[in-house]
Every structure is written in C-alpha cells, then in structure tokens.
Structure 1
Amino acid sequence: MRISSVTMFDQSTASMNRQQSDFLKVSQQIASGRRVVNPSDDPQAASRAVGVDQAKAVTEQYADSRTSARNSLAQTESILNSVSDAVTSAKTLLIQASSDTLSNVDRDSIASELKGVYETMLGQANATDGNGRYLFGGYNDSNPPFVKNADGNVEYKGDSNTREQRVDASRLMSVNENGESIFKSVPSSAGYVAEADNDNAGNVTFGGPQVSDVNDDGYGDSYRIQFDEDAGNNPTYSIETYDEGSESWVAYDPDNNGDFTDQAYIPGMNVSFGGVNVDLEGEPAVGDEILVAQAGSDQREPNLFRTMEEAIRVLENPVQDDADKADLRNTLNTSMRDLDNALDNVLTVRASAGARLNELDVIDAVGNNRSLNYEQTLSDLVDLDYNEAISEYSLRQVGLQASQKAFVDVKGMSLFDYL
C-alpha cells in the first residue's frame, strides 16, 4: 500500500488539530470553572441543569415574596401594638372618669385627652405601606378605609378582604388585615354587653351582665329590658328577645306563663333571664330601655370608634341631674367593657400576625435548605473537578506537543530530499 506525502500531511494536520481542539476545550473548562460549557459537552447533564436552575429561580422568587410579606406583616404588627396601647390608655382614662369626685371641668379635660387617643387610633387605622396603599382597607386600598361622616362619626369604607401572597409553592398567606377584623370585631370569647338607650329619661342604672348559666336555652340570644308603669303609676319592666325568624322583638316567655311581662320593678333588684343576671338601680321613666346582647351580634355590632365617640360624648355632656348621672355611669360601664373586648380582639389579631411572621422564618429556613440542595445538584451536574481538569490539561498539552513534533518529523520524510 502506497501512502502519499499528501496523505501523511493531511493526517498529521488533522491529528494536530484534534489535539489542539481537546487542549482548548480543557482550557475553556478551567477558565470557566464548568465541566459543561456547551450543551453538547454532556446533553443529559445540561438538560437536568436547566430544570434545576429553573427550580432554583422559582425558589428565589418565593424568597423575595417572603421578604415583601414579612415587611407588610411587621408593619401591621407594629401598628397593632400602637392600637393596643391606645386602647389601654383609653380604658385608663375611663376608669379615672368614673370617679364620683370629678367635676364637669375634670371630665371635660379627660374628654379632651380621650379625643387625642381617638385621633391617634384613626391615624393608625388609615396607615399606609411604603407604596402608598392603605394597610387596612382590604382590596380597596387606594382610599382611606376610615372616614368621618357629616355627623362626625367614623365609618368604614373598605371591604372585608385581605391581601394574600404566595410565599411558597404550597402556602398562600394573608399579609395584612382589614379594618373590620381590627376595629369592628370582637373575639369569639366575648360575652354579653349591656347598653342603656341614649334617650332614656329616667335615672336607672345597670350592673353586669353576669353569666349565670351557659346551658340555658336562651343563652346567646339578644334581649332588651323595657320599662313602663301600671295603673297606679308604679314602674314595671318587661323583657323582650330578638326573634331571628321574624326579625323583630318579641316577648321573652320561656315557660309560656308570661313571667317577664309587666313585672313590678323595685330599685336594687336583680333580673335573671337567658342565663344572665343584670342588677338594676334607680328610677326608670316610661319608655326607657336597656339592651343586653352578645358582643358582636347583629343587635350590637362592635365598633371601637363608636365606643370612643360615645365615651367622649358623655364626658363632654355636663352632669346636671340624676338622669345625666345615670347616662354617665351606664355609658362608661358599657364603654369599658367594649374596650376590654376591643383590646382582646386587637391582641388576638396581633398574635395572628406574629404567628405568620414566625411561620415565614420556618419557611425561609426550608427555602434556604432547598436552595443549597439546588446549588449542590447544579455543582454536581456542571461544575468542574479542578484536580481532574488540571491532569487532563497536562495530558492534552503533552499530546499536542507530541502531535506537533510528529508533524515536523513526518513533513521531513520526503524522497526529494535525497535526490
């Protein structure tokens, strides 16, 4: 078989180019620190790396989402802390105002201080986040959720929704609270609250209500005590209960014998109905009434701002007669119980926000571990083993040099040199 000089030249050149290509490939791997520089280097590893890299990017997006959620919840928790402090301050002022030794001027001074607490609450209720959105408006976060109407009373203009954010593949978390859940709600454990009508003309006052029997068939219903008088002008009382079916007040008659209709009223008496007790003092006028209902029921919807407004009203109103004194005592008693329920509710909501902050810490720890696993998997798939690469680099360098030397030697093997 005859091998021409051209054939030897071409084969030597091809061998040298191949060795040079392998040498440059190893050089590129060392320079980039990656074993798989191009998908053709290891198609299977490259394909798996794309999937792992995408999963890693999604994990990083969830981490950014958790950062945003943590900022919102931290701001909510901070504001709720301020609101709870304001409620506590208001309760302290009402306890101070309930002293019989205070004059009208003293109570008016307390009312002024209470107005400051009221305005502080309103400002906190209309707080915004860093993007100008109102925190407690629900989805309606472009306008203040709490505004004063023409009568100067605060109304809620937001909705009952809460913004949610996906903080992990399997966790959709509420990142704020709406105004209803904070300022117009009570905890499920809140009991009965009594409230005297503002138009009462008599001086009857109440104490309680106190729960006597939670197993009573009427426990949990709403009641009202109405006052009248008999033919001899002696005061009487009747008890009515709210009927959900007819949506009206009907006579309370659990034993079908009319025990709670037009009964003789005696100052200092204790009235028991529906598993609760109410102490009554003073002389009522015809048409006076006292509502006794579960806090948070339809008959007595909770409203922290309304409670503050009623307390300010009664403190600003000069006490001139027994009816004014009764109004002051009844309103302060009702307001203090409402503030207790409001504080319990704010603390409950705050605890919920704190629990979600703790949950974010746990999810963060899991997400960080997941990211580390993805990093390790990517490293195993595409990263370079430098010890092996350097050995390969030296080997390819020797091969390239040998190829070049062989090419020089073969190129010199020609018969024309001997002619």
Structure 2
Amino acid sequence: MRVTTNLIFDQNFRAINTSQGQLSDIQTQLASGRKLLRPSDDPVGAVQVIRLTEEIDKTVQYRRNIDLATNNLELQDTTMRSINEIVNRGRVLVVQAGNGIVSREDRRALASEIEQIRNQVVDLMNTQNASGEYIFAGFQSREQAFVFNPGNASNPIQFQGDDGINSMQLSDSVSIQTTVSGKTLFEDVKARLDIHNISNAGFTFNGFDMQSQDDFDVFHQQNYSAVNPANNQYQLELLAGNQVQVTNLGTGAVVGNVPYVAGQATVFEGLSFDIQGPVGSTLDFDLQPPDKQNLAETLHRMSLALNDPNISDYQYQQEIRNALVGLDNGLEKMARENSSVGARLNIAESVLGSLLDNDVANQKARSAIQDVDYAEASAEFSKQETALSAAFASFPRVAGLSLFDFI
C-alpha cells in the first residue's frame, strides 16, 4: 500500500477531530449533568425520556389541581360548619320561643337575635374564595349568590346563581366535585309537610295537632299525588260503633279506621284531631303540596312571627313547628354535604400520595436514562484527554516521515 503525504495528514486530522469531538461531548455532559445530548446518542432512551417527562409534567399539573380542589373543599367545609353552628343556636332560640311563659318582650328579644343569625347565615351563604368567586353560586360565581329582600314577602331570600357544579381532574382516572350549588344546599330544603283546606260538617272541630311529624311525613310521601290533586283529598267520617273511617275522596278507597272516644283526640297517621259530633259527621282536609324553603328564609319567617303582635296562638305554634322542621332538614342536608366533602378530601389526599409515589419512580427512571454518571464521565474525560494529547504529540513525528528528510 502506498502511503501518501495527503493520507497521513487526513488520518491524523481525522483522529484529532474525533478525539476533540468526544472530549467536547464528555465535557458538555459533565457541565450539563445530562448523558443524552442529542437523540442520536440513544434513540430508544430519548423516546423513553420524552414519555417520562410528559408523565412528570402531568403529575405537576395534577398536584396543582389537588391543591386547588383541597382549598375549595376546605373552604366549603369551614363555611358549612360555621353555618351549622349558628343555625343550631337559632334552633335553640326557636325551642325557647315555644315556651308557654315567654312574654311579648321576650319574643321581641328572641326575634332580634334570630334576625342577627339570619344575617350571618346569608353572609356565609355568600362566602367568596381568594379569587373573589362566590363558592355557592354555581357557574355564576362572579355574581352574589343570595340577596336578602325583606320587602318581598313571598321570596325574601333570592338565589341569583345556578345549579352548576364544578369538577377537578386529580389523575388520569379520578375526578372529584369541588363545588356545590347553593340552590342544592340551601334552597332545596324540604319544608314541613302539613294539611290545609279543612272543612267540617256535623263535627265540632276544635283544631288539630301534629302528634308525630315523622309518621305523617311517611304517610304524605306514600300517598301524595302530584298528578291528580283530587287524590290528595281525605275525609274523616264518624261511623256507628265509635269508629272514624278515613277515605280518599279522589279514589274512594278507605285508607284507615281509627277508634273514636268522645272528649279525646282522634289520631290518624300522626295527626291528632279534636272532634266531637254525632254519627255521620265528617271532616275533610287536603294534603299540602311538598314545598322547599331556604334555610335563611326559615329563620326570617320565624323572626316575623315573633315580632307579630296579632298572631294567634295556633298560628304561632304552627310557625314554631315549621321553623323546627325546616332548620332540622337544613342541618341534615348540610351534614350530608359535610360528609361528602370529607370523603372527597380523603380521595384527594389518597390520589396525592399515589401521584407522589409515581413521580419518584418516574424521576428515578428518567435519571437512570439521561443523567450522567460523574465518576464514569470523569474517567472517560481523562481517557479522551490522554488520547487527544497523544494524537497531538504523534502527529509531528508521523508527518516528518518523508523521503526528503533522508536526501
């Protein structure tokens, strides 16, 4: 083989350039801490690093979502606990108002405190988060959720939001509800079930009492017809043998027979009727349509009853019963929502733990692929530096091997 001068120079230059390039790559690895400087260094590893980086970035976003969801849920929980506490105080005052020895001045004092509780409840129902959004306004979170208008007798507490519910994605497969609409939580609270349109023929009717609200509620829920109002009409008729027969006037069906004792109340499905009369006497009544009443509105109507000097004792007692049932139903609804919020907070905490575990594993896997081993890289740097030095030292001697040097 004939070795020309050009071949000698080309080979030595190529060796020096190669050594310099390898030394430069190792130096860049040591400076950046990355073993993969370009996809061609390890095509398979580069793809794995991209996928792992995507998972790590996704975990970062999910952690932000969890923090935001947790903050929202904790604010809701704190607000509902505050409402629960002051409504319980209001309930105590309503019970106190039912005491037979409460004077007119006492009623006014109770009304004043219940009004303050009502105002606190309305204020808490309009709670805003750090972004200024009303947390119980649904999707209309920039608008005040509830407005108190005492001049509107039929609807003094007006809800201005909607029933929208926000959710937050916590992981690829887990999403939780982060808000609850005030319509669901405070507006859609069942009011006390009752009867109305009472009329009697032959009976001396001295009124009725709700002896067992629970028994009557079960009867109402099982028999009330929203489709055919006639089926909500009932009649009590005194039969021979001291029996009161209860008939559904709409269907004609006999729904019950209860004993009749003159001078004693006649009890049917939790209703206690004070009736007296001859055989054939009747008393008709209708089941009242189910209604819903805002928690703050229940307190408001109780304060009005306490301030009304012309209210009858019967109507006063009815308002107390209405308030107690309404407050109890509202407290029960908040208790269920509190439990739900607690469960969602537990889910968020559990998902966060899983995300942190996965993040550690992904970080470790990515590091194994792309991060430089400093001990190995330092040794390789020394080796390449020695090789480059040798190439520089040998090149002048190899380049000097020419016949002209021996002539």
Opposite residue 372 of structure 1, the aligned amino acid is V
Corresponding residue number in structure 2 for 1:402: 390
CA contact (8 A) 2:66 2:170 kept: yes
Within 5 Å, give how 1:3-402 maps onto structure 2. Answer: 3-149=3-149, 150-151=151-152, 153-186=156-189, 193-195=192-194, 204=207, 206-211=209-214, 218=219, 220-221=221-222, 242-248=224-230, 250-252=232-234, 253=247, 256=252, 269-272=265-268, 276-280=269-273, 299-318=290-309, 324-402=312-390
Corresponding residue number in structure 2 for 1:232: none
Corresponding residue number in structure 2 for 1:413: 401
**Using a 3 Å threshold, how does the CA distance of structure 1 residues 315 and 197 change in structure 2: closer, same or farther?**
farther
**Using a 3 Å threshold, how does the CA distance of structure 1 residues 368 and 290 change in structure 2: closer, same or farther?**
farther
CA contact (8 A) 2:91 2:327 kept: yes
Instruction: Write the distance in 2 (CA, Å) between the matches of 1:69 and 1:417.
Output: 84
C-alpha displacement at 1:116, in angstroms?
A: 0.4
**Using a 3 Å threshold, how does the CA distance of structure 1 residues 348 and 250 change in structure 2: closer, same or farther?**
closer
Deviations 1:240-276 (A, max 9, x none): xx43222455433269476889x9997751421xxx3
Instruction: Write the distance in 2 (CA, Å) between the matches of 1:73 and 1:83.
Output: 15
Opposite residue 76 of structure 1, the aligned amino acid is Q
Opposite residue 404 of structure 1, the aligned amino acid is F
Out of 205-214 and 329-338, give the one that drifted further: 205-214
SS at match of 2:270: strand
Deviations 1:195-238 (A, max 9, x none): 477999x9735233255599x9x56246xxxxxxxxxxxxxxxx
Opposite residue 155 of structure 1, the aligned amino acid is Q
C-alpha displacement at 1:107, in angstroms?
A: 0.5
Corresponding residue number in structure 2 for 1:233: none
Task: Provide the TM-score with structure 2 as the length reference.
Answer: 0.83
Compare the two structures and name the one with the higher helix fraction. Answer: 2
CA contact (8 A) 2:22 2:384 kept: yes
RMSD: 3.3
SS at match of 1:271: strand
CA contact (8 A) 2:167 2:175 kept: yes
Instruction: Write the distance in 2 (CA, Å) between the matches of 1:147 and 1:401.
Output: 84
**Using a 3 Å threshold, how does the CA distance of structure 1 residues 99 and 203 change in structure 2: closer, same or farther?**
farther
CA contact (8 A) 1:195 1:330 kept: no
Instruction: Write the distance in 2 (CA, Å) between the matches of 1:282 and 1:98.
Output: 25
C-alpha displacement at 1:38, in angstroms?
A: 1.3
CA contact (8 A) 1:184 1:304 kept: yes
Instruction: Write the distance in 1 (CA, Å) between the matches of 2:148 and 2:261.
Output: 41
Instruction: Write the distance in 2 (CA, Å) between the matches of 1:268 and 1:332.
Output: 24
Instruction: Write the distance in 1 (CA, Å) between the matches of 2:390 and 2:19.
Output: 9
**Using a 3 Å threshold, how does the CA distance of structure 1 residues 125 and 334 change in structure 2: closer, same or farther?**
same
Task: Provide the TM-score with structure 1 as the length reference.
Answer: 0.81
SS at match of 1:339: helix
Instruction: Write the distance in 2 (CA, Å) between the matches of 1:203 and 1:313.
Output: 26
Deviations 1:331-378 (A, max 9, x none): 112211221121111111111112111111001011111111211121
Q: What is the aligned residue count?
A: 378
SS at match of 1:279: strand
C-alpha displacement at 1:280, in angstroms?
A: 4.3
C-alpha displacement at 1:413, in angstroms?
A: 2.4
**Using a 3 Å threshold, how does the CA distance of structure 1 residues 250 and 91 change in structure 2: closer, same or farther?**
closer
